[in-house]
Structure 1
């Protein structure tokens, strides 16, 4: 089965076109004001209209409250929510019920200790995203360009589909998939020429590296 590819942090129609042309399965739209990839809802609604049918639109949110979440979902046509904050399993379940959308919960990992409680999240969401744990002084919960020790994932009993993220780029994604068996991969900073500015050549090279395995 082909590895699923998500290109996250897209901000322009050109970004979307580059990702789609290279065979990306998912595109990620970021709704987090501190991120250089942040979109306002109006811009995101326009961008979502450029995404062809069959490509999943994933909205990344960070500890978003109910009012903002309701506004987002009323204005932007999304297919999935990616929760990238400190949401508890209870909050994940609440957002899943409130939104009516499938939910992907991001888990920051540095050591095996960070996987404690993973079963609780897998019980309340459709998908898990395993990302490199953000440094203590980081402003962003993800998209920092760091990898982690992939070997800590070796003993996980995955009860839901999962996606690997964290420092992936064209030069290392094939090795990451071989080492972890990841069925899905996610990239953002690894295909940028500057924070928030995607490089279509890097997107092409990333997708080619994944598809070439």
Structure 2
């Protein structure tokens, strides 16, 4: 059985980044989206990404970025992967991938089985898919809301290798989530926080350990 791939997203300090790296996270995510409590400036992201270079895959999370923001984020963070968490179309994903020369991961909000219908189109152009709980009506954030969706929706779904599960995960339920979905990659943000935007090194270590303990 292959080891579970773990991404810790929304990191904003050297201490919590180091905690994620020391816990063995495979991917570390930096959010550049001003409305998010996990937002980091491009200068902050530059320093954190440099610190993580060669130790984990570095991910910059952007929401419906225009070409100027893409260029600035690439210049600052030199990310290994671009995570797109807005309403980007498959065509836009293809443009971003071609323009930047970087792999892209598309986050797709899931609430019902019907939401899976768009996955083949995104899978044809994205290097990874991330299945997150669809935000509640009126939510300010497209993700990181601490909500989960019905994992049984995925039971009979045919998903690309490397598809990541997100939304409402924490150390207490990640093992069950992996067992129920059959996936082998997970992404967590709010589930390892003391409060929105404040990561907890203890919870980070517990989450990675719990994900890797799956049966």
Q: TM-score over 0.5 for the alignment?
A: yes
Question: How far apart, in 2, do the equivalents of 1:156 and 1:87 lie?
Answer: 22
SS at 2:25's partner residue?
A: coil
Deviation, structure 1 residue 186: 0.3
Matched-pair contact (CA < 8 Å) for 1:191–1:199? yes
Question: How far apart, in 1, do the equivalents of 2:164 and 2:53 lie?
Answer: 22
TM-score of the superposed pair, with normalisation by structure 2: 0.97
Matched-pair contact (CA < 8 Å) for 1:105–1:128? yes
Deviation, structure 1 residue 155: 2.1
TM-score of the superposed pair, with normalisation by structure 1: 0.98
Is 1:189 matched up with 2:190? Answer: yes
Other-structure match for 1:44: 45
User: What stretches of structure 2 of length at least 5 have no aligned partner?
Assistant: none
Deviation, structure 1 residue 12: 0.6
Question: How far apart, in 1, do the equivalents of 2:111 and 2:117 lie?
Answer: 12
Poorly superposed stretches of 4+, deviation over 3 Å: none
Other-structure match for 1:11: 12
User: What stretches of structure 1 of length at least 5 have no aligned partner?
Assistant: none
SS at 2:136's partner residue?
A: coil
Q: CA offsets per residue over residues 63-82 of structure 1, 9 Å max, x none? A: 01111111111121200001
SS at 2:51's partner residue?
A: coil
Deviation, structure 1 residue 160: 4.2
Q: CA RMSD in A?
A: 0.9
